[in-house]
Structure 1
Amino acid sequence: MRLTPILTALFAAVTPALPAAAQDCMGQNLFERMPPERLAELHAAAEGVPYRHGLFWQAEKGEQRVTLLGTYHFADPRHDLTMEHFGPEIDEAALLMVEAGPEEEAKLAEAMASDPSLLVDPEGPTLPERFSDVEWKSLSAALEARGLPAVIASRLRPWYVAVMLGVSPCMMRVIEEKGDPGGLDHLLVERAEAAEVPVRALEPWDTVFTLFAGMTSKEEEDMIRAAMPAAEYADDYAVTLADAYFSGDSWLIWEFGRFDAYDNSGLTRAEVDEQMRLAQEKLMDRRNESWIEPIEQAAAEAAGQGKGLVIGFGALHLPGEHGVLRLLENRGWNISPITVEGMGDGG
C-alpha cells in the first residue's frame, strides 16, 4: 500500500504518540542483495510499461504548457536538487496543482477530530475475529511497533491498517517529531505560497474515504495480508523505495511488492495479482482519469495568462496505460522528458 499526500495528511493527523526520539532511518537497499535472477524477473515484469522511466515531464498542446513532477511523499535531502531546478518555474507559474493542498489537509484533520468512525469500525467484527490467531499475533505486533496497542488496532478499518503497515516505525517517529512528512509535495506547496502562486487540489479532501468502498470482506483481509511481508522489514523497504524513486524507476518497487507478496504473504499468485489489480485501479487508475479534465481546464486558464502550469503528484501516477502521461497523450498532448542533472533517468 503506497501513501499519497492525502493519505499522508490523514496519517499525520492521527499519528499516535510514539516512544523514543526520531533519528535518521537506516536500512539496506533490498535490490542490492537480491539474487540476480529475481531482480531480472522484476525488470521483466516492468518491461513495456509506458513512461516507466523518469520523474519529470513536459506536456504541450498548442500554447498550453504543463510541467509534471512525480513526487516522493517523505523527506529526503535529494529533494533539494528538484527544488533548485523547478523552484523558479513554480515562481512564474499561473498555478500549482497537487493531490491535496493545505485546505484539503485541514479539512481532513478536522474530520478526523470530529468523527473517529472514519477510521474505527465500532460495530463490525474485529480484526482478531477476521484473522487466524497466528495472523493476528503477527499483525498486532506490527501495529504495536507503529504505536497502536492491540485493543485500539483491533477495530481499525482494514484500509487504514494497510496504510499503517506501509510506513516504517522509524519513519512514523520522524513524522511525529516533525509534524510533517517533509515530502516533495509539501516543498512544492511551500515554494508556491512564498511566491504567492495559487495552489489547487486535483481531488476533494475526502477522496481517501471513497477509494476502498465496495470491497468484500475477503478483499479487505487480503489487502492486509498482501501488505504484511514488507512491514516485517519496513526500514529496508523504505530505503529501497526511495532509491528506486531517485533513480527514476518507481515502477520497479511496484513489481517488487508483487513478488514479495508472492513469496511471503500466504496468498496464491492469483490472489496477489487480484490485490495488485484492485490497488492499481483504486489508488491510481481511477484517480488518474478523474484528474485529466481539471488538468486540461487549468492548463487552458494558465495559457490564457501567458503562463505555464506546474503539477506535482505521486510518481506512480505517471506510468502505465492508465497513467497521467498516456492519458494526456491520448488527448493530443505532446509528452517529453525533463532531465535534472543528478536525478534519475530523463525518460
Structure 2
Amino acid sequence: MRFHRPLFSFLLCLLLPLQAFADPAFYRINKGNEQHWLLGSIHAGKASLYPLPDPVERAWQQSHALVMEVDMTNLTQEQWQEMGAITRLVDGKTLKDHVPPDLYRRTLIAAGQYGLNEAILAPLRPWFAAITLTQAALERTGYSGEYGVDQHFAKRASEGGKPIVGLETLLEQLGYLASVGDNQTLMLSSTLDELPELKSGFDKVMTAWQNGDQATLISLLREEMAPPKLQSWLEQTLLAERNHNWVAKWPSLPNESFIVVGALHLYGDQGLLALLEQQGWRITALTEPSPQAVR
C-alpha cells in the first residue's frame, strides 16, 4: 500500500536539521515569571532562508538559552558508538538478509540514483536505510540540512557562549525511530515509492510552513499515510509520546529559552501548544499566520 502523503515529508518535519522563505508560526509562551519562545520548524533548507524574520531575530537576541530536540554539538565518542548499535545490524547479517529480494534490488537502484553504494547501505537496519536514502535524495532537490535553522542557531549559540539544552538525547530520538520494529520493511518500501516525488512533496510542506498554515501541516498527519499499525506508531510514538515527555521537562528549562522543534509537534490535541495551554501557559503568536491557518 502506498502512502497518500509521503512518509519522508512527515519524517522531515520531525527529524532533519529548518528552512523557510517567509514568516513561519512563532510563539511567545509565558506563565508567571517564566517566558520562552517557540519556533516550529521543518528541518531542511536553502541559503536563501537567511536572514530570518525580525520577530525571530529579536527573540534570539533576548533569549538566554537554545533548546533543541537534540543537542548535536556535544556528542561523545561513546554516544556515536551507541548510535551505531541502534542504526546498524549487529547479527552478522546485512540489509540483503533482512528484506525481500525485490525490495533489496529496488533499494540498490535508488541508492545508485542518489549517489550511494551498496557498501553504505548494507550494514544499516531497514528503517535507517530509508532515512539515509531520504537524506541523500533531499540533497538532490536543492534543500539541505546544512542550512537548517537548528544548526544555524546551534552555531550561533556555540560561538556566543549561549547554553544549549536538548529535550532528548540522540539515542532517545533514534530509539523512537527504531521502535517501528516489524514495520521497518514497510517503511523502506514506502519511502522508495515516494522518493521520485520528494521535491514536489517537500515544496508543498515548505509552502505551508512558511505561511504558518497549520491546517495544511496537520493534514500531513491526519490524511491516511500508512496502514493502521504504522499510522498509530507515527501519531502516538513519534509525536504524542515525545510531546508529553518534552512538556514534562518544561519547568526545568532555563528562563527565556529559544525553543526550536519540528512543526508537527506543535499542533493538534496532543501538540505542544495544546498541552502547554492545559498546564496554564499563555500562548501568543508573534507572526501573522496564513488566513487558512487554524489550530
Identify which of 200, 203, 209 aligns with 2:165: 200
Q: CA deviation at 1:157?
A: 0.7
Change (3 A) 1:259 1:280: closer
1:245 aligns with 2:209: yes
1:186 aligns with 2:134: no
1:239-283 CA distance string (max 9 Å, x none): 23322221223663564587685xxxxxxxxx5232122123222
Identify which of 223, 240, 247 aligns with 1:292: 247
Which letter does structure 1 place at the counterpart of 2:282? Answer: N
Give TM-score scaled by structure 2 length. 0.78
In 2, are the aligned partners of 1:226 and 1:275 still within 8 Å (CA)? no
Change (3 A) 1:225 1:251: farther
Which letter does structure 2 place at the counterpart of 1:339? Answer: T
In 1, are the aligned partners of 2:211 and 2:289 still within 8 Å (CA)? no
1:50-104 CA distance string (max 9 Å, x none): xxxx621122212222210012222235533535432232222222211122434
Q: Indicate the SS of the match to 1:74.
A: coil
| Aligned twin of 1:85 | 55
Q: What is the number of equivalent residue pairs in this alignment?
A: 280
Change (3 A) 1:174 1:203: same
User: 2 CA distance for matches of 1:318 and 1:170?
Assistant: 24
Q: Indicate the SS of the match to 1:166.
A: helix
In 2, are the aligned partners of 1:93 and 1:310 still within 8 Å (CA)? yes
Which letter does structure 1 place at the counterpart of 2:43? Answer: H
User: 1 CA distance for matches of 2:252 and 2:282?
Assistant: 17
| Aligned twin of 1:119 | 87
Change (3 A) 1:289 1:58: same
In 2, are the aligned partners of 1:73 and 1:181 still within 8 Å (CA)? no
In 1, are the aligned partners of 2:108 and 2:118 still within 8 Å (CA)? yes
1:282 aligns with 2:237: yes
Change (3 A) 1:113 1:181: farther
Q: CA deviation at 1:297?
A: 2.0
Q: CA deviation at 1:3?
A: 3.8
Give TM-score scaled by structure 1 length. 0.68
| Aligned twin of 1:316 | 264
Change (3 A) 1:239 1:311: same
Which deviates further from its counterpart, 132-141 or 92-101?
132-141
1:102-154 CA distance string (max 9 Å, x none): 434x33x7644687444321426644444444333222212233333235424
Q: CA deviation at 1:226?
A: 2.9
Which is higher, the Rg of structure 1 or of structure 2?
1
| Aligned twin of 2:116 | 148
Q: CA deviation at 1:338?
A: 1.7
Change (3 A) 1:258 1:125: farther
Identify which of 107, 125, 147 aligns with 1:139: 107
User: 1 CA distance for matches of 2:46 and 2:110?
Assistant: 25
User: 1 CA distance for matches of 2:114 and 2:222?
Assistant: 23
Q: Indicate the SS of the match to 1:67.
A: strand
Which letter does structure 2 place at the counterpart of 1:90? Answer: W
Q: Indicate the SS of the match to 2:73.
A: helix
User: 2 CA distance for matches of 1:115 and 1:319?
Assistant: 29
Q: Indicate the SS of the match to 2:128.
A: helix
1:169-221 CA distance string (max 9 Å, x none): 3516979xx9x62111122223334443322111123223321455443x121
Change (3 A) 1:95 1:116: closer
Which letter does structure 2 place at the counterpart of 1:186? Answer: Q
Q: CA deviation at 1:325?
A: 0.9
In 2, are the aligned partners of 1:112 and 1:118 still within 8 Å (CA)? no
Change (3 A) 1:214 1:315: closer
What stretches of structure 2 of length at least 5 have no aligned partner?
1-7, 18-23
Change (3 A) 1:190 1:340: farther
State the Cα RMSD in Å.
3.5
1:58 aligns with 2:20: no
